[in-house]
């Protein structure tokens, strides 16, 4: 069965790079049938499918369909729970804070619960700060921070991950890519959306280079002995990344420090497993619950000075209108690359995927006895 | 009058690099007489002097005596206020948040007030988030976050600064070095203390290279046309810095995004002047109040999972005990370089300064008719 070839016949093919364009609804439906096939209850599968589609639609391909295989394996093996009677629980709370136990449900189920709790607290007390234990991989951090923006609040989301960041001076990995997302509403639907790993690159970006057989940029990865490498195979073997900033000379210790800050917010506060002591995301190491930690913050600009969205729009537009350096294109603000990608998707009628990506997920579909991507709805 | 030469005769001179060692008390007394000479009330001068000594003691020379001349000029010119009847005011508050107006007092006076307010709120509601307008340069951000750690809380401090960060792809500066400090208490007096500019280097570090006539590292600065430069004179002329991460290829847009996040917390929330629209710190541009913005957060680990300090100590020690990469010395955690510097100062009986630094501040003392550093107490 070579489903991706059938698919390629059925969908629009862009000439220049042979992208396969898949409507968002079809990506969503495909995720739903994969997740439900391995036991996810509808509500939980919906949370995950929505997040996967959003990641690819925003151009964060590393965190969309690229991750589906892991999520399926998590459910299939019973490492992650999806039962209608199991919900995240509030362990402890104040008017403005909460500690949440995810009870080993899927990350997006836990994350959505905790972010919405932070939002409710922010509406009441001006701010809500929620730390979470007992969770799993939660996808793109921006998914959660943007939920707050929909409510005209500032949103923040953080998570620890399995170790892949090599601390400055060290020979081996210790912390995760430990992403930070902060989003804030500007005027007329505009917004600031920062969503970044505290490593130079996210691990998924290295995987994407491997999947797409593209060269690995200098300054992203180290080999298994802690030496810089541009060899994609060595980088895939080590999965060892430089912290943001790179080497010590260019302040890599700052990215390392930010990753440790995320660790404080997500695991040290909550009692989730600290990154160096977590399991990797490969089959042989999956022998217990991940007990991943997250942190979600919502903050109401209305309890501060009036005119928040006006000031933010002015700053965003000031930066966008800066003269570009010689040979550079337009200056962007955090969130603009994603906006450009979504606009492009809307114009071409779906999310463009490389054929390799489609092939990978359809191999997965076949293995799990699920109809391939795009076949059902055509 | 060549005071620094007299001083050099009076103090211990370390052979290898001709450092002048000045006891902390003498630095403090010197700052007090300089600040009081130009009109600072005692309480305000104390706040500033304490901060300057702490910066140099911790090894952040860029933010200690190196900044005294600016602070003196701020007071002398009347750009910054120090009057016994003027205090920072709370404009608006909830149980967990506040908007503070610094009323154009010195940064450390405003910052200490606002951080202590955040601490009180954290003790009551679990978290305190305070945004500040109407302030001035506040020195090292870590000074404020560490106040929370003394109370067994997590502390955070942020500030905007005058523009020196060149956004990714842009030809010119727009945001400040916009530092982030996050500090958290571990066991037995140990702690995590992150204190970093969101540029590759702080502007003060470029100034220190200039003062000490040391070469400028690659990847720190851009010239006035937005091109990379390693020429210290061009760097001093432009005062234009790369965001953390460097170029676009090595994710410099993340440092730019973090600087914008700090702007959201400090100025967009509070109504302080946004960095691109602030004045530079040079005489000819000083024609109105700085209206600088800060943000302070305190968070009580006790409202989350028990065992916070144990877990943090375990993580810090895990990182310190990682095997170093080939040719590297011991792996550190944020706060360790400062601890090492303070230990060194304690061992040699004071803060070691380069003779150039002493010469600069004593020129300043002479200009203002103040007794030179170290002369009075010997």
Helix (H, G, I), strand (E, B) or coil at B351: strand
Q: Position of tokens 């130009």?
A: B38
The reply to whether residue B324 touches residue A263, judged by beta carbons under 8 angstroms, is no
pLDDT the model gives residue A6: 39
B118 to chain A: which residues are within 8 Å by CB? none
What is the arithmetic mean of pLDDT over A23-35? 97
Own/partner pairs, A334-339, CB within 8 angstroms, 24+ separation: A334/A192, A334/A193, A334/A194, A334/A195, A334/B253, A334/B256, A334/B257, A334/B260, A335/A183, A335/A191, A335/A192, A335/A193, A335/A194, A337/A59, A338/A58, A338/A59, A338/A60, A338/A142, A338/A193, A338/A195
Check CB contact of B268 with chain A, cutoff 8 Å.
yes
pLDDT the model gives residue B6: 39
- What is the token pair recorded at A47? 């949370």
Please tell me which of the candidates A96, A192, A251 has its beta carbon nearest to residue B95: A96
Name the residue with higher pLDDT: B335 or B224: B335
B276 to chain A: which residues are within 8 Å by CB? 315, 318-319
Q: Which of B91, B88, B128, B84 is nearest to B109 (CA)?
A: B88
pLDDT the model gives residue A7: 39
- What is the token pair recorded at A367? 């293995």
Name the residue with higher pLDDT: A11 or A319: A319
Q: What is the pLDDT confidence band of residue B282, given thresholds at 50, 70 and 90?
A: low
Mind listing the pLDDT tens digit for each residue in B17-44?
Answer: 568 999 999 999 999 999 999 999 999 9
Inter-chain contacts counted by CB atoms under 8 A, chains A and B = 278
The reply to whether residue A184 touches residue B264, judged by beta carbons under 8 angstroms, is yes
User: How many Å apart are CA B237 and CA B224, to the nearest integer?
Assistant: 7
User: How many Å apart are CA B87 and CA B99, to the nearest integer?
Assistant: 14
Q: Which of A133, A136, A268, A71 is nearest to B185 (CA)?
A: A268
| Number of Cβ within a 10 Å radius of residue A237 | 12
pLDDT the model gives residue A51: 98
Q: How far is A9 from chain B (nearest CA, A)?
A: 36
Q: What is the pLDDT confidence band of residue B235, given thresholds at 50, 70 and 90?
A: very high
Mind listing the pLDDT tens digit for each residue in A239-279?
Answer: 999 999 999 989 999 999 999 999 999 999 999 999 888 86
pLDDT the model gives residue A284: 47
Helix (H, G, I), strand (E, B) or coil at A363: helix
pLDDT the model gives residue A1: 27
Mind listing the pLDDT tens digit for each residue in A95-134?
Answer: 999 999 999 999 999 999 999 999 999 999 999 999 999 9
Given a cut of 70, whether residue B5 has pLDDT beyond it is no
Q: What is the pLDDT confidence band of residue B212, given thresholds at 50, 70 and 90?
A: confident
Q: What residue in A sits closest to B95 (Cα-Cα)?
A: A125
**Percent over 90 (pLDDT), chain A:** 81
Check CB contact of A296 with chain B, cutoff 8 Å.
no
pLDDT the model gives residue A280: 61
Name the residue with higher pLDDT: B215 or B266: B266
Q: Which of A262, A243, A261 is nearest to A253 (CA)?
A: A243
User: How many Å apart are CA A362 and CA A358, to the nearest integer?
Assistant: 6
What is the distance, to the nearest Å, from the Cα of residue A53 to the centroid of all Cα atoms in its chain?
A: 11
The reply to whether residue A303 touches residue B99, judged by beta carbons under 8 angstroms, is yes
Q: How far is B248 from chain A (nearest CA, A)?
A: 11
B345 CB-side CA count, 13 A: 23
Q: Determine the straight-line distance between the first and last CA of chain A, rounded to whole angstroms.
A: 18
Mind listing the pLDDT tens digit for each residue in B139-171?
Answer: 999 999 999 999 999 999 999 999 999 999 999
User: How many Å apart are CA B218 and CA B247, to the nearest integer?
Assistant: 12
Check CB contact of B280 with chain A, cutoff 8 Å.
no
Q: Which of A296, A297, A292, A298 is nearest to A102 (CA)?
A: A292
Contact, A100 vs A131, CB < 8 A? yes
Can you name the residues that pair with B201 across neighbouring β-strands?
none
pLDDT the model gives residue A286: 55
Check CB contact of B285 with chain A, cutoff 8 Å.
no
What is the arithmetic mean of pLDDT over A200-223? 87
ipTM of the prediction? 0.93
pLDDT the model gives residue A218: 86
Check CB contact of A270 with chain B, cutoff 8 Å.
yes
Check CB contact of B219 with chain A, cutoff 8 Å.
yes
B227 to chain A: which residues are within 8 Å by CB? 325-326
CA distances from B256 to A143, A249, B168, B217, B253 (A): 21, 19, 7, 20, 5
The reply to whether residue A172 touches residue B322, judged by beta carbons under 8 angstroms, is yes
User: How many Å apart are CA B114 and CA B128, to the nearest integer?
Assistant: 10
**Vertex B175: Cα angle to B162 and A340 (nearest 5):** 165
Q: Which of A51, A109, A101, A116 is nearest to A82 (CA)?
A: A109
Q: Position of tokens 């700060």?
A: A129
Q: How far is A213 from chain B (nearest CA, A)?
A: 18
Q: What is the pLDDT confidence band of residue B377, given thresholds at 50, 70 and 90?
A: very low
Check CB contact of A96 with chain B, cutoff 8 Å.
yes
Q: DSSP letters of A90-155?
A: EEEE-SSEEEEE-TTB-HHHHHHHHHHHHHHHHHHHSEEEEEEEEE-----THHHHHHHHHTTSEE
Name the residue with higher pLDDT: A266 or B13: A266
Backbone angles phi, psi at A319, to 5 degrees: -65, -45
The reply to whether residue A125 touches residue B246, judged by beta carbons under 8 angstroms, is no
Mind listing the pLDDT tens digit for each residue in B297-308?
Answer: 999 999 999 999
Mind listing the pLDDT tens digit for each residue in A285-303?
Answer: 555 789 999 999 999 999 9
Q: Given the DSSP bridges, would you call strands A240-241 and A221-222 parallel, antiparallel or unpaired?
A: antiparallel
Residues 181-200 of A with CB under 8 A from B: 182, 184, 192, 194, 196, 200
User: How many Å apart are CA B170 and CA B174, to the nearest integer?
Assistant: 9
Beta-carbon contacts of B17 under 8 Å, excluding residues fewer than 6 positions away, are B354
- What is the token pair recorded at B329? 């010395």
- What is the token pair recorded at A193? 């959306």
């Amino acid at each position: 069965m070579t489903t991706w070839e059938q698919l390629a016949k059925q969908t629009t093919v862009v000439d220049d790079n042979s992208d396969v364009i898949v409507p968002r609804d079809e990506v969503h439906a495909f995720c739903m049938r994969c997740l439900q096939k391995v036991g996810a209850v509808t509500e939980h599968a919906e949370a995950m499918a929505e997040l996967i589609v959003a990641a690819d639609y925003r151009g964060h391909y590393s965190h969309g369909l690229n991750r589906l295989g892991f999520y399926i394996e998590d459910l299939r093996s019973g490492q992650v729970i999806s039962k209608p009677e199991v919900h995240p629980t509030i362990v402890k709370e104040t008017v403005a804070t909460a500690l949440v136990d995810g009870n080993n449900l899927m990350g997006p189920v836990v994350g959505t619960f905790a972010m919405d709790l932070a939002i409710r607290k922010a509406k009441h007390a001006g701010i809500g700060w929620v730390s979470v234990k007992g969770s799993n991989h939660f996808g793109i951090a921006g998914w959660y921070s943007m939920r707050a923006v929909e409510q005209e609040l500032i949103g923040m989301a953080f998570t620890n991950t399995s170790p892949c960041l090599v601390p400055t001076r060290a020979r081996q990995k210790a912390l995760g890519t430990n992403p930070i997302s902060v989003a804030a509403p500007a005027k007329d639907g505009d917004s600031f959306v920062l969503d970044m790993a505290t490593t130079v690159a996210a691990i998924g970006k290295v995987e994407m280079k491997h999947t797409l057989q593209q060269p690995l940029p200098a300054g992203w990865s180290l080999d298994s002995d802690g030496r810089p490498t541009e060899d994609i195979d060595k980088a895939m073997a080590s999965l060892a990344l430089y912290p943001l900033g790179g080497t010590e000379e260019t302040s890599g210790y700052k990215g390392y420090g930010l990753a440790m800050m995320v660790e404080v917010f997500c695991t040290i506060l909550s009692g989730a497993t600290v990154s160096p002591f977590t399991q990797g995301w490969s089959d042989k190491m999956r022998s217990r619950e991940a007990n991943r930690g997250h942190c979600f913050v919502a903050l109401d600009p209305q309890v501060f000075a009036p005119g928040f969205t006006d000031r933010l729009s002015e700053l965003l537009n000031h930066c966008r209108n800066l003269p570009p350096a010689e040979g550079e294109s337009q200056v962007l603000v955090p969130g603009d690359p994603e906006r450009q990608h979504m606009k492009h998707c809307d114009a071409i009628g779906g999310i463009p995927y490389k054929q390799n990506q489609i092939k990978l997920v359809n191999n997965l579909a076949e293995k799990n006895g699920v109809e391939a991507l795009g076949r059902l709805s055509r």
